[in-house]
Homo-oligomer: A and B are copies of this chain.
């Protein structure tokens, strides 16, 4: 029986890595020959969680087809966010909490999506439904993923189910939710030694909007000035990526995880669509968005409507 690869999206965040580890574990307990892999190296935030719970980082793959034909996707479904050769693979299962788009299969599959704040919250329910015990290390990665995706429950994507799951998992993982959570989030905001290329690729996804391709990156910080002091350098890199990849637009969301607000930095064409979508005027390519922290809930739907 060949291995079944389980992985999250490109530029993996803590949920993409944590959900791959926990879902691969659950499926293995249920008799499948699953192994977690990743489409990139862990961020510093994710590495903090891996180190804390003594979990090895999943092996990074560039493609899957030379090693297996069977995969399970977590925390994403859109093909442009997945492994490069996804169209040649058989997708056995998806567990996700995003919109569904640019996804199709030839055969019936297991697909479980719920509009909650974190994929790991759904996987937590699946552990319960299957009566599989959650080990400490796995619980630690799952609660880290929920803290990360919900910004410690401050994101509007956060639901009662996420909070409930996080509390139960924190007890299993033997952590203090707030203390551990803030330490982990802050570990991800130490960005001064990173190049603009790296910063813009930490948590970046491409979205087909209308007939255009839009790149949307997000950076968490505890001080806007840490990032905005490098605006010139960031803009040069964003423009280079727009040219190299044919993006209609590059949007950088800089999110203050302590205040739960964001600054947008936007380059490219169709800037009027961004201004219309959020009822803002860009000045110096920037605008402040009060209370906005969620790309999925507060950015992408509004842009989707503006582009349609």
Contacting B at CB under 8 A, from A75-123, are 97-115
Is A246 in the interface zone, CB < 8 Å from B? no
Minimum CB–CB distance from A278 to chain B (whole Å) comes to 16
Minimum CB–CB distance from A22 to chain B (whole Å) comes to 19
Q: Are A108 and B304 in contact (CB under 8 A)?
A: no
> Known: A108-B296, A110-B115, A114-B110. Is A100-B103 also a contact (CB below 8 A)?
yes
Q: Are B104 and A108 in contact (CB under 8 A)?
A: no
Copies of this chain, count: 2
Q: Are A100 and B110 in contact (CB under 8 A)?
A: no
Contact with B along A158-181 (1 / 0, CB 8 A): 000000000000000000000000
> Known: A112-B112, A129-B129. Is A104-B101 also a contact (CB below 8 A)?
yes
Contacting B at CB under 8 A, from A194-245, are none
The CA-CA distance from A223 to B25 in the complex, in Å, is 50
Please pick, from B102, B109, B114, B296, the residue contacting A104 in the complex, using a CB distance under 8 A. Answer: B102
> What secondary structure prevails in chain A residues at the interface with B?
loop
Q: Are B296 and A106 in contact (CB under 8 A)?
A: no
Is A305 in the interface zone, CB < 8 Å from B? yes
Minimum CB–CB distance from A64 to chain B (whole Å) comes to 18
Chain A: interface size category: 20 to 34
Is A135 in the interface zone, CB < 8 Å from B? no
User: In the complex, which residues of chain B have a beta carbon less than 8 angstroms from the beta carbon of A301?
Assistant: 106-107
Contacting B at CB under 8 A, from A268-307, are 296-297, 300-301, 304-305
> Known: A103-B100, A105-B100. Is A113-B110 also a contact (CB below 8 A)?
yes
The CA-CA distance from A276 to B219 in the complex, in Å, is 52
> From A110, which residue of chain B is reached at the shortest CB distance?
B114
The CA-CA distance from A113 to B93 in the complex, in Å, is 9
> From A105, which residue of chain B is reached at the shortest CB distance?
B99
The CA-CA distance from A101 to B304 in the complex, in Å, is 20
User: In the complex, which residues of chain B have a beta carbon less than 8 angstroms from the beta carbon of A107?
Assistant: 99, 115, 297, 301
Minimum CB–CB distance from A162 to chain B (whole Å) comes to 13
> From A99, which residue of chain B is reached at the shortest CB distance?
B105
The CA-CA distance from A109 to B297 in the complex, in Å, is 12
> From A111, which residue of chain B is reached at the shortest CB distance?
B113
Minimum CB–CB distance from A236 to chain B (whole Å) comes to 32
What residues of chain A have their CB less than 8 Å away from a CB belonging to chain B? 97-115, 129, 296-297, 300-301, 304-305
24 contacts between A and B (CB under 8 A): A98-B108, A99-B104, A99-B106, A99-B107, A99-B108, A99-B109, A100-B103, A100-B104, A100-B109, A100-B111, A101-B104, A101-B105, A106-B301, A106-B304, A106-B305, A107-B297, A108-B115, A109-B113, A110-B113, A110-B115, A111-B113, A111-B114, A112-B112, A112-B113
A-B contacts besides A99-B104, A112-B113, A129-B129, 12 pairs, CB < 8 Å: A99-B109, A101-B104, A106-B301, A107-B115, A107-B297, A107-B301, A108-B114, A108-B296, A109-B113, A110-B113, A110-B115, A111-B114
